[in-house]
Amino acid sequence: MSARGEWPVHPLAALVADGDKINYGVVQPGPEVADGVRLVRVADLGDGHISTGAMKRIGHTIEAQYARSRLLGDEVLVACVGSIGEVALAHPELKGANIARAVSRVRCGPRLDRRFLAWFLRSKAAQDYFLAEARTVAQPTLNIRQLELLPVPLPPLPEQRRIADILDKADAIRRKRKEAIALTEELLRSAFLEMFGDPVTNPKGWPVATIGELCQRGASLVDGPFGSSLKPEHYTTTGVRVVRNWNIYDDRFDESAFKFVEPEKFEEIRRSEVRAGDLLLTTKGTVGDTCLMPDLPGTSVLSASGTVRLRLPPDDALLGPVAVWQMISPMFKRYLHSFEAGSAQQYLNLSAIKKMRLILPPKGAQQAFVALRAGVQAVRARQTEGVATAEALFDALVHRAFRGELGSGTTKNAQMGLFQE
């Protein structure tokens, strides 16, 4: 097997189709036209693929001015503004579409396999080149000349195709792992609706209570301290943990980024203390994300704005996971947004939250759902760990590919070893 050092290296511009050159697309797309020409933007590129679901359309008159960037459906597309280095393969269904100003298209010549090029553009070597060459004004930008000068290793065409086949197969397995996590989450969502129905219309006729009524039964709803009581200058690197809306996602608490305050400051704002099992709700920015506070060592307190915590009644009339899954359902999200106030920025206040109704199903049914959720979370944790491992191994595989280190047995190893399912 040849090492990459023995492969010839050419600038990308020398490897495009005869008579063609690398081009960017429409500079001023104008208003969207319902029956116009599809326009591929940076937002449509992701993880090597093109999403057509939210693709915009432009007028034929505008598009005709940019015939040089019209797609045939066999190009490699590269984001050159903003998310520079995002890469995707065009497909035949996109024939006749155009590309936006921030996207460049490359049509490969006979010496270069387009799948090989797409994988090389996603490799660390190419991505490092993009980052080094990009200039930043309002946002990172890579111009056409810099893309043309990108040094591309050029093994023989059969070897290019073999490398692309290996990476395609390994990528398919990597994607399956991600899809499995999404299916696991969908399973729990479907189970909740099957067991309890729509929590807003309440077709099963469960008892209901407003959050304010739950507070009369021993629940506690508290927001963060007043802004003057907790400012950014009060944050420290150790001490009492501060829970912010950046930590709160739907049924997931992010432990990766905390701020802290001194114990003395905590004593001043103890009213906003958070304990394990409290329901957390974001009330500014991304309004309505909900999760339970995990059991973490030490003490925690809410930030000054954007978060509230609900401590449910001690009678267990409503269990935390059931409350969370009510509030993260699409139906409840729509219901919750009807309580928002504000114009420039939407927000929820305590009085509005107290008016929200929650269903109170029988305790046995709630306990069954809590057990199901615990089992699904255990599976999801293993899946997430597997995805992280697969991502790291996949990155290593791509790196090896362009160093000429993929031997003849790599296809089998990628499927049966590196990405064991």
3-state DSSP percent of the chain in helix, strand and coil, to 5: 40, 20, 40
Residue 336: phi and psi, rounded to 5, are: -60, -40
Q: Which amino acid, residue 93?
A: E
The answer to whether the beta carbons of residues 89 and 171 sit under 8 Å apart is no
Q: How confident is the model at residue 5, as a pLDDT?
A: 52
The answer to whether the beta carbons of residues 379 and 170 sit under 8 Å apart is no
The answer to whether the beta carbons of residues 318 and 366 sit under 8 Å apart is yes
d(CA 420, CA 328): 33
What string of pLDDT tens digits covers the 421 residues of the chain? 344 458 999 999 999 999 888 988 888 787 888 889 999 999 999 888 898 888 899 888 888 888 888 999 999 999 998 888 999 999 999 999 999 999 999 999 999 999 999 999 999 899 999 999 988 777 888 999 999 999 999 999 999 999 999 999 988 888 888 888 888 888 899 999 999 999 999 999 999 999 999 999 999 999 999 878 898 899 999 999 999 999 999 999 999 889 999 999 999 999 999 999 999 999 998 899 999 999 999 999 999 889 999 999 999 999 999 999 999 999 999 999 999 998 778 899 999 999 999 999 999 999 999 999 999 989 888 888 878 887 888 888 888 888 888 765 544 444 434 444 4
Q: How confident is the model at residue 87, as a pLDDT?
A: 94
What number of other Cβ atoms are within 10 A of residue 378's Cβ?
10
Element (H, E) at 165: helix 157-196
Closest alpha carbon to 173 in 370, 325, 3, 390: 390
Tell how strand 208-210 and strand 248-249 pair up: unpaired
Q: CB neighbours of 194 closer than 8 A, spacing ≥ 6?
A: none
Q: CB neighbours of 284 closer than 8 A, spacing ≥ 6?
A: 245, 305, 306, 345, 346, 347, 348
What percent of the chain has a predicted confidence (pLDDT) above 70? 95
What number of other Cβ atoms are within 10 A of residue 257's Cβ?
8
- Tell me how far CA of residue 132 lies from CA of 47, 117, 128, 236, in angstroms: 21, 19, 6, 34
Q: Tell me the DSSP string of 245-256.
A: GGGEETTEE--S
**Global pTM?**
0.67
Instruction: Map tokens 């994300």 to a residue.
Output: 289
The answer to whether the beta carbons of residues 147 and 77 sit under 8 Å apart is no
Q: How confident is the model at residue 411, as a pLDDT?
A: 46
